[in-house]
Amino acid sequence: MAPEQPGGDSMTSEVIEDEKQFYSKAKTYWKEVPPTVDGMLGGYGHISGIDISSSRKFLQRFLRVGRKGRRGPCPPRLLLGAAGSLCRQEGPNRTGTSCALDCGAGIGRITKRLLLPLFGVVDMVDVTEDFLVKARTYLGEEGKRVRNYFCCGLQDFSPEPSSYDVIWIQWVIGHLTDQHLAEFLRRCRLGLRPNGIIVIKDNMAQEGVILDDVDSSVCRDLAVVHRIIHSAGLSLLAQERQENLPEEIYHVYSLALR
């Protein structure tokens, strides 16, 4: 049976004229970006602390006791709040804290501040080799617990099966076409350990799919992302809008999947 086609009414195929150029232009763009936190965040380095703090609270609701803290409680019912947050109690089978994968990791901002404090080992994958080279010094002493530095575009990357408790994918899904994103999520699903989760955290458009010709990426609305998630055979466990970000940027949502 052929897999369901992702996207629905709005698809990247409508805004991307040349798929090969879409990927090559993005790769060239990131080669010119300085390997700093400010570079990773497009000049918004000052929001890193806010981002990491919210991500930690979001992630800990699913985890067993982590390396340096306890998981936060999750309400025993489905909630949808004013900030667009929803959470579903998953019972006693919490996500482990042995190994995480940071996708679109850059210099390791998320690995350093979010994943290494919570997980025993972390793998990083990014398309830009210079970022991964910088990560080896940026991560400091704790970087010894980074097991692998994979230099690869996510459209070509396959996580090792049954290897990861958490696969974290932040501010990078816009660099994949709908089809490649769905295929990547299917591979990520196979890469999860028992009770593992995938987290997508990214910009969400108000409506449809918007092309950014500068960095060669797209921004999808939540409905489009939900359809791609469903086409990959994944279910939405929790969704939350990031608060306290500058008004001029896109809304940012975290989505936990399994």
Binding site as annotated, residues: 104, 109, 126-128, 154-155, 170
Report the C-alpha gap between 239 and 85 in whole angstroms: 5
Question: β-strand 164-170 against 99-103: which pairing, if any?
Answer: parallel
Which string of b and e fits 119-151 if b means at least 16 CB within 10 Å?
beebbbbbbbeebbebbeebbeeebebbeebbe
Judging by DSSP bridges, how do beta strands 236-241 and 251-257 pair with one another?
A: antiparallel
Q: Rounded to the nearest 5°, which phi and psi values hold at 204?
A: -130, 130
The CA distance from 200 to 159, in Å, is: 16
- Taking alpha carbons only, the member of 146, 122, 121 closest to residue 133 is 146
Burial 161-179 (b: 16+ CB within 10 A, else e): eebbbbbbbbbbbbbbbbb
Quickly tell me which residue has 């359809």 as its tokens.
227
Torsion angles phi and psi, residue 257, rounded to 5: -130, 155
240 in Cβ contact with 75 (< 8 Å) = no
Residue positions in the annotated binding site for S-adenosyl-L-methionine?
Answer: 104, 109, 126-128, 154-155, 170
d(CA 189, CA 258): 7
For residue 188 the two structure tokens come to: 């990520």
